[in-house]
Amino acid sequence: MSFPGLAGLGGIGFVLVGIAINIVYVRARLPLPVSGRSLDEVTDDFATVGDALKRPSVLAPATWLFLTLFAAGLLAVLWRDGPGTGAWALVGFAGVLMQNVTFTCVEALRFGIASAARPARTTSTGGTGSRSSA
């Protein structure tokens, strides 16, 4: 199989795994960033979704790998077309790499919010939790 063909399969893999991950996130009732809900409700949701968040997040790096493979194949094809398209192909590939970094940060923030919401729901939302004074 040629590299552009393999890159095309990477693009299809990115789409399929991305759809599957998002379906699992929605079924697990992961709070959406634009849900318009109160901070207490979102904190409670993240506190209860902790274990359900781990399962699809294992597949998230596969989507980044598939997308990078697709972008590399696109870069290889566009690099040969002419001098003007090569620079734009590099810009597009750099954008894909930056997108992967962004989604890595988003996943890390989701894990951080879920783990912080579990032990201290009341203190994370500004409620009156029990604090010991030393």
- The domain of 18 spans 3-124
Q: Considering the domain boundaries, does residue 24 fall inside one?
A: yes
The predicted-structure confidence for 55-87, as pLDDT tens digits, reads as follows 777 888 899 999 999 999 989 888 876 777 788
* Average pLDDT of span 11-17: 94
CA distances to 9, 15, 39, 94, 97 from 12, in Å: 5, 5, 37, 20, 18
Banded pLDDT at 120 (limits 50, 70, 90): low
Give the integer Cα–Cα distance in Å for 60 and 40: 28
Residue 11: CB partners within 8 Å, gap ≥ 6? 66, 67, 69, 70, 73
Give the integer Cα–Cα distance in Å for 64 and 103: 9
Give the count of beta carbons closer than 10 Å to the beta carbon of residue 74. Answer: 19
Q: Considering the domain boundaries, does residue 57 fall inside one?
A: yes
Structure tokens belonging to residue 49: 């979704």
Q: Considering the domain boundaries, does residue 49 fall inside one?
A: yes
pLDDT at 123: 53
Q: Considering the domain boundaries, does residue 59 fall inside one?
A: yes
Q: Considering the domain boundaries, does residue 51 fall inside one?
A: yes
Q: Considering the domain boundaries, does residue 133 fall inside one?
A: no
Q: Considering the domain boundaries, does residue 134 fall inside one?
A: no
Q: Considering the domain boundaries, does residue 129 fall inside one?
A: no
* Average pLDDT of span 94-111: 89
Q: How many domains does the chain have?
A: 1
Residue 60: CB partners within 8 Å, gap ≥ 6? 21, 103, 107
**Local structure of residue 32 (DSSP, 8 states):** P
